[in-house]
Structure 1
């Protein structure tokens, strides 16, 4: 099998090389091979990308990421496969486009005037703000004129372009450009105190602050900047135009849903919460991890999802009791515990098994029209405020023109359940919807952090009927099989 795969890869490389050679031969004549012809000759869209939580990475369920999803969808629209060419930095991905090694770059590339002279940018995908980052406990400069020594950014990066522009206003501004380190590595060096400052886009800063909570933002270097795909500047429109049609065909709602899937919860947990989680991972979780894993295997869930729920509920404290009388690691009500046949809510094993059974049931009763992972977030909201209120808020979402299948639209209506004008129209009445919104965001963040800390794959495989060959969403914290209850 390996020999066969290697042979297929070799044939693809050979075909691509032959296409490039033919293009080079014909470029001196009146004939030229267009970009779409190159894609069709290869049988795949070759995309330069980077490993990044904002772009592309290998999750527990396979390839995933905001720009990966978009690139995979574009390749499907062309009727070809998707081949990823990994670059170390966005700048290297741009070089791959310029020298013909990739058809386009989908690599978190920020548009700058200098880059616009070297490549052709498509429709903006999102906006980010370049921020000066330092370590908590060190002095925070008020503006660019007060940045001292120790500022390091990736070589030929968008950050370097911003600093060059600022230097005309602040001649004393100095920095070092690293040819070897990317932005995330520099953020880690700032967190460890190895360098004093770096510049990073706001989305990457927010994500990394969850893992390195000592990171702080001094100020924004500029206003919001566009992130877009990059194409060769001197080639025909045969690929560029379909790409713009594909992206333009995605409604703002669809893009908003995709952004929410990857970025909608990244600022949910503050510094103290992140530090506390890291401490409890060492001091409390080892006592209960085996039970979380056993429950996850029995109910076809990711153990880190169960652990994230347990952490949000009780910080993994089996003796936790809320003011409303819910108890234990998974904070089960007395009524729910009786339904689940949990005799002792403060027994860690019973609580975790009961909580796993309950969230599994909630996931399974969410209507089939709701896709993953949205059905997971809706089930979490139900775990927090009751399934009846989830039915109500989905109906309110429909009435107000939203998509009740998508968490981003439902979430926007949760707070209506606290307003008499709206909750009086529902079957189940008042609910603290804002708390459910925070609850789901926290669980999502804790889940992401546990994935980052442990990095291991789910304990049981995904159900064959639900696992796509090419995942198009973020790692699904579930392994869907048949309903348990």
Structure 2
């Protein structure tokens, strides 16, 4: 018996099949104290903590690039407010609501159906989009060519025919509330089974594979998933159009106001229209849907994942960090060459390639091996100066990009001007960024002179941000 089937059987053993028995979870969450954390506290930290859900439209990685409807909205909001994003991923709505109340996160950035009788301590923002709920069912089995008769089963088109049927939905989602109301409307029971550990798209996958018969989904997401599962039917609506919103704490009045004002204006822009069309209206090609480089389907960042993992393991580096560096350097193109003569996946300069014994700089394994060895070489030379390994990664990355001499200069400048030479952000990074100014590159403590510091400054930030995304979605 498969793991998924076992899970479903266990759920059924502990869940009464009547449609009014699935209320306990929301009531348990109400007792969590509501933390006092609003826009002033968030601005003081300079960081807004956000949780979103990992699926093929909201947040994923494709060919090494973090993507998603919610991710792009969040990036636009961060640009608007000047705040940094701390994005985490959790598909369990119960945990998300708890974390929101306790202050672990400030925003639940997802497709939450806004309703009046909301949970205690939760406030919904202006809608970022609209959708209606639809029933997800099979038109035929995936193994229909093997003689399955599943295709002869009539599809549900009348909501009355849901009487007595078992529908699996995400715990504490708006789908639960809608199905309960629908049960009242049709005057008959619908067996609602709430699953805590499965996100909406995972339940859609179970319907497609025949593990379960029915689930409910927002129509825009359901239609995207038809590209993955052509054996599904999503033509039966079970609700009117609904507002899709984010959620914040009900006492975060200023944060709610800023989000609402931004959304009202941003939804009128061509930029918003392009983002929405990109993820919900444009037909996904089968090439993308079946692509191994989609984190949902194939789980690959690149063609070179196995090599990256093997070489990273030799020096106990996280392969996802190396992958983020390679994406930044070459977009995983082994023949890439920079204007300065750096070549290959990790953009090795000729002298670096020679030093680490590279005979063919375009050979992926040789290039990656040498790049990782060079990173280790830099790490060893910075170890005594920057003892904290997490902090040292930033110095290593900057050195990989611009040379360790310029980083040493920036550290000396930081120390001279009363900053911490062992801290990167708002300390050493400032002096590397401004090392193109005569005041700094002519300073007596500077040995290596002028440096265009803007590139390594952004290089470190972009690699680490992408690395965080990789950690969110890649094992």
Taking structure 2 as the reference length, what is the TM-score of the superposition? 0.51
Identify which of 435, 441, 447 aligns with 2:288.
Answer: 447
Q: Which runs of 5+ in 1 are unaligned?
A: 1-23, 269-441, 476-485
Rounded to whole Å, the distance in 1 between the matches of 2:280 and 2:290 is: 14
2:149 equivalent to 1:146 = no
Mapping 1:362-381, distance limit 5 Å: none
- Matched residue count: 267
Confirm whether residue 130 of structure 1 aligns to residue 146 of structure 2.
no
Q: Is the 8 A contact 1:145 1:172 kept in 2?
A: no
Q: State the Cα distance separating 1:188 from its structure 2 match.
A: 1.1
The residue number in structure 2 matching 1:214 is: 231
Give the structure 1 partner of residue 441 of structure 2. none
1:156 aligns with one of 164, 167, 172? 172
- Change beyond 3 A, Cα 1:163–1:72: same
Check whether the contact 1:46–1:83 (CA below 8 A) recurs between aligned residues: yes
Per-residue CA deviations over 1:318-339 (Å, capped at 9, x if unaligned) read xxxxxxxxxxxxxxxxxxxxxx
Shift of 1:96: 2.1
Q: Distance in 1 between matches of 2:123 and 2:46?
A: 23
Instruction: Tell me which residue corresponds to 1:421.
Output: none
Whole-angstrom CA distance in 2 between matches of 1:59 and 1:114: 38
Counterpart position of 1:173: 190
Bigger shift: residues 450-459 or 87-96: 450-459
**For the residues of structure 1 that align with 2:271 and 2:119, how far apart are their CA atoms?**
27
CA separation of 1:92/1:207 partners in 2, compared to 1, >3 Å: closer, same or farther?
A: farther
Change (3 A) 1:239 1:140: same
- Cα distance in 1 for partners of 2:156, 2:200 equals 20
- Superposition deviation, residue 252 in structure 1: 4.0
Change (3 A) 1:185 1:247: same
In the alignment, the residues of structure 2 paired with residue 76 and residue 94 of structure 1 have an alpha-carbon distance, to the nearest angstrom, of 25
Conserved? CA contact 1:145–1:173, under 8 Å: no
In the other structure, the counterpart of 1:72 is: 75
1:441-462 CA distance string (max 9 Å, x none): x6x4532432445443355723
Say which SS state the counterpart of residue 242 (structure 1) adopts.
helix
Displacement of 1:61: 3.4
- How do 1:297-376 residues align onto structure 2 when only pairs under 5 Å count? none
SS in 1 for 2:210: coil
1:246 aligned residue: 262
SS at match of 1:226: strand
Give, in whole Å, the separation in 2 of the partners of 1:70 and 1:58.
Answer: 16
1:196 aligns with 2:40: no
- Number of the residue aligned with 1:456: 300
2:169–2:175 CA contact under 8 A, matched in 1: yes
The 3 A distance-change label for structure 1 pair 252 and 165 is: farther
Match of 2:367 in 1: none
* Mapping for residues 65-144 of structure 1, pairs under 5 Å: 65-115=68-118, 118-136=121-139, 137=151, 138-144=153-159
TM-score by length of 1: 0.50
Residues 61/249 of structure 1: CA separation in 2 closer, same or farther (3 Å cut)? farther
CA distance in structure 2 between the aligned counterparts of 1:100 and 1:183, rounded to whole angstroms: 25
Q: Could you give the per-residue CA deviations for residues 389-431 of structure 1, whole angstroms, max 9, x where no partner exists?
A: xxxxxxxxxxxxxxxxxxxxxxxxxxxxxxxxxxxxxxxxxxx
Q: Pick one of 230, 240, 244 that aligns with 1:223.
A: 240
Name the structure 2 match of 1:300: none
> Which range moves more in the overlay, 195-204 or 135-144?
135-144
Contact 1:106 1:230 in 2 (8 A): yes
Computed over aligned residues only, the root mean square deviation of the Cα atoms, in angstroms, reads 3.0
